[in-house]
Amino acid sequence: MKTASTALICIVIYSFLMVPFTTYLHKKPFVEKLGYVPSVTALKIVSADHKELVAASLVLKVLMYFGGQVEKPESQIHIPPDYMAMSRMLHGAVKLDPYNMDAYYFAQSFLTWDVKQYKMANDLLAYGMKYRTWDWYLPFLAGFNHAYFLKDYGKAAEYYKRAGELSGSDLSRLLAGRYMQESGQTDLAIAYLSAMEKGERNPSVKKNFRLRMTAFQEVRRIEVARERYLAERGVAPPSLDVLVRDGMLVPPPKDPYGGEFYIGSDGRVSTTSKFAFAGAGRDTTSKESK
Amino acid sequence: MMTMIGITLKGIFRDRVFQGIMVTACAFLLIPVIASLSMRQVTELSVTLSLSLISFILLLLSVFLGGTSLWKDIDRRYTFSVLGLPLSRQSYLLGRFCGTALFVMLSAAVLGAAAFAVVCYSSAIYPADRPIIWSTMALCILFDALKYILLIAVAFLLSTVSTSFFLPVFGTIAMFFAGGVAQQVHEYILSPASESISPVVRQIANGLYYLLPNFEAFDLKVNAIYGLPLPTGGLLLTLGYFFVYVTFLLSVSTAIFSRRELR
């Protein structure tokens, strides 16, 4: 009887304690960490016949980490994402399971846009193409990297042709044709990001694509206004403020990454954020120098 | 021997092992939720998780049933009363082995059915880019079960020479890992990267490659997950390898067990 009543009292106290306890833990400051992952050779031995499972868990770990970085809850101590650790982990994942599409897809998205490691991204995609011989996505991504980032239009057309053959998609064929000539880069970036955003299921990655697409749509708006100014006045606009003041850019463009758009001396539209949260406000010197 | 198979199966069911498997199999319910976290391969991840869960449960079964079955009988002096009956030691051992192997096959069939249901559900919600080849998935589960039956044969061999459960249980686990990497080590030894390794070590590694069971051949997970074609010739060779290796292990086990002094 005594023990039963003691247990009952414990349950009641536990119930009362749990409410403030869970609230405290929810608000407790934390840092999103990727943690340590052993070498691929060690993982290959330990994972035995579960290599695909271990590879998938590495990819999910990176996704969770990145998801935490994008969402940024109030209680999180924010530090820039550790892209190199993310890359290491995804490279390890494809060594364990060279067919894992999530790894290629996600590594490609941040290695190019955020870290600017185009060669590393292309090498990874080429490695994936050796295994996923049926997949049109990998040459599609490689084509975009060659055209948009590396300005290698011949190689881009080659990859887009391959993607078009594998998928029968009009988009890939269209891009293959358009990349033969250096024009309409922003439109192509928007088309690419729109295709990626539509096919994306992961909310954090989808949000990331949408954000980048919004930024490029703003760039496109500025480019249209710039062309209009040039056609009407016969000279390039001296600054973005002139376009806003003359009513050619209404409402004023807003960088979703928190930076400020500007027109460089070469006429190209750029932003102080460099299309990344980490870059917001850090590139004011380049804006001033332009 | 048939009686021994029946007794073994009854004993396993009496120990509520099957109920234990069913409780563990509840993890199948979580698979569609976890798989939905994937960006581009939800169905593929469902197949990966289902096959890995089956493989893990079968590993536990083969290590603990295979490693403790004989040892428990000897330790409880059950073998005295059984071997007093008109039953040869060979029939006793083979009956125990076949009963355990049959239970592993039965568990693989039940868990396989659960895996099919989970993958069906996942692929209905998130249609896969790659076709799901059900026959490949079934063959993958079958070959997985064969691999663990081979491991049970290893556990039985270790049980025949052991006086405690340490060698059969931990020896079987060690053999599972060694058999899993045997192929990788062999390929490394054949590659130019291994030139710096001494010839003696290379010879030992080569010898071990032919001596240890090779579990790599039984792993068809990549084929099942990504719908890759199965090499028919390779599968037939693997089946041949399985029968020869298991028969060899059982014949050595029965030879040792027949000569073993049971006190």
* Structural domain boundaries in chain B: 2-259
CB neighbour class for B189 (10 Å; exposed up to 12, middle 13-18, buried from 19): middle
Burial A215-226 (b: 16+ CB within 10 A, else e): bbbbbbbbbebb
Supply the pLDDT for residue A131.
93
What residues in B contact A101, CB-CB < 8 Å? 39-41, 44
Cα A98 to chain centroid distance, Å, stands at 21
Asked if B253 contacts B153 with a C-beta cutoff of 8 angstroms, the reply is yes
* Residues present in chain A in total: 290
| Count of C-beta atoms within a 10 Å radius of residue A247 | 8
Peptide bond into A251 cis (omega under 30): yes
Q: How confident is the model at residue B68 (pLDDT cuts 50, 70, 90)?
A: confident
Could you give the C-alpha distances from B255 to B161, B163, B251, B260, in angstroms and in order?
11, 17, 6, 9
- The nearest CA of chain B is from the CA of A117 a distance in Å of 22
CA-nearest of B216, B99, B212, B90 to B149 is B99
Contact with chain A for residue B212, Cβ under 8 A: no
Supply the pLDDT for residue B207.
87
Supply the pLDDT for residue A266.
78
Supply the pLDDT for residue A174.
53
Residue B137 has pLDDT above 90, yes or no: yes
What residues in A contact B218, CB-CB < 8 Å? 49
CA-nearest of B245, B250, B241 to B156 is B250
- Tell me what the pLDDT averaged over chain B comes to: 87
Residue B246 has pLDDT above 90, yes or no: yes
A254-265: pLDDT as tens digits: 888 888 888 887
- Tell me what the pLDDT averaged over chain A comes to: 79
Tokens, residue A262: 């500007």
Contact with chain A for residue B181, Cβ under 8 A: yes
CA-nearest of A173, A169, A168, A141 to A157 is A173
Residue the block writes with tokens 């169905």 = B43
What residues in A contact B145, CB-CB < 8 Å? none
| Cβ pair A52:B177 closer than 8 A | no
Burial B113-150 (b: 16+ CB within 10 A, else e): ebbbebbebbbeebebbbebbeebbebbbbbbbbbbbb
| Cβ pair B221:A134 closer than 8 A | no
| Cβ pair A49:B126 closer than 8 A | no
**Distance, first Cα to last Cα, chain B:** 23
What residues in B contact A45, CB-CB < 8 Å? 177, 180-181, 184
Mean pLDDT to the nearest integer, A247-251: 86
CB neighbour class for B91 (10 Å; exposed up to 12, middle 13-18, buried from 19): middle
Residue among A48, A63, A100 minimizing CB distance to B37:
A63
- The nearest CA of chain B is from the CA of A108 a distance in Å of 13
What is the residue extent of each domain of chain A?
38-127, 207-289
CB neighbour class for B105 (10 Å; exposed up to 12, middle 13-18, buried from 19): middle
A197-227: pLDDT as tens digits: 777 777 777 787 788 888 888 888 898 888 8
Mean pLDDT to the nearest integer, B160-166: 82
A108-156: pLDDT as tens digits: 888 888 878 888 899 999 999 999 998 888 998 898 888 888 888 778 8
Which residues in chain A belong to E strands, given as ranges?
Answer: 261-263, 269-271
Contact with chain A for residue B225, Cβ under 8 A: yes
Tokens, residue A275: 């299309």
What residues in B contact A135, CB-CB < 8 Å? 129
- More confident of the two residues A183 and B79: B79
Residue among A48, A202, A205 minimizing CB distance to B180:
A48
Burial B218-232 (b: 16+ CB within 10 A, else e): bbbbbbbbbbbebee
Residue the block writes with tokens 């589960």 = B141
Supply the pLDDT for residue A73.
54
Supply the pLDDT for residue A70.
61
Distance between CA atoms of residues A250 and B5, nearest Å: 84
Asked if A256 contacts A246 with a C-beta cutoff of 8 angstroms, the reply is no
- More confident of the two residues B150 and A190: B150
| Cβ pair B225:A63 closer than 8 A | no
CA-nearest of A252, A226, A257, A224 to A239 is A226
Q: Which of A192-196, A237-241, B82-86, B132-136 has the lowest mean pLDDT?
A: B82-86
Supply the pLDDT for residue A173.
54
Mean pLDDT to the nearest integer, A70-97: 75
What residues in B contact A134, CB-CB < 8 Å? 130
CB neighbour class for A70 (10 Å; exposed up to 12, middle 13-18, buried from 19): middle
Q: How confident is the model at residue A289 (pLDDT cuts 50, 70, 90)?
A: very low
Burial B25-55 (b: 16+ CB within 10 A, else e): beebeebbebbebbbbbbbbbbbbbbbbbbb
Instruction: Specify which residues A76 forms β-bridges with.
Output: A30
